[in-house]
Amino acid sequence: MDPSVAAIKRLTKELKANAKDPNPALEFLQPVSDNNLLLWKGRLKGVPNTPYQDGLWDISIKIPPSYPLHPPEIKFITPICHPNIHATSGEVCLDVLKAQWTPAWSVSSACTAIQAMLSDPEPDSPLNIDAANLARNRQIDPLAYDGLVRYYTRHYACSKN
């Protein structure tokens, strides 16, 4: 079976599953258009009781023709402050989107992993060095990191309709 045909078949199945049982980590998850199942968009919800609470972040999802053998590329469109998310490109550094990817993961479950990462940053493999330094020093100055994250959340991610 052609890899892109396998990807389309798998993605169609995932779309149906998500319509039947939506992911609580997402406000929505859908293809950008009906003509291309390899480009999706979503809106990730902030984690309650964290500085990301009440935030909504638009994400873009580019799915390779070799999916599910290879992971989707997920990027933040809405600015976010996090050690493992690049401040300008929105690129996400998460092992399940790289070397730890397996076909058992889905687009939806990858989004859940990203949401979980928000409340559990890994400052030792940063894409945002400034946020990583603040996260590393949380015990010295716990308000600095949380305050900056809350600012970004309120300023950029709390005005979605």
- Active site (annotated) includes residue 81: no
Question: Residue 54: which region, alpha, beta or left (left: phi > 0; alpha: psi -120 to 50)?
Answer: left
Structural contact between residues 96 and 71, judged by C-beta atoms closer than 8 angstroms? yes
C-alpha to C-alpha distance for 7 and 38, rounded to whole angstroms = 8
The answer to whether the CB of 117 falls within 8 A of the CB of 68 is: no
Cβ atoms of residues 118 and 46 within 8 Å: yes
CA atoms within 13 A on the CB side of 147: 6
User: Which candidate in 81, 93, 111, 158 is catalytic?
Assistant: 93
Do 146 and 152 meet the contact criterion of CB atoms below 8 Å apart? no
**Residues labelled catalytic:** 93
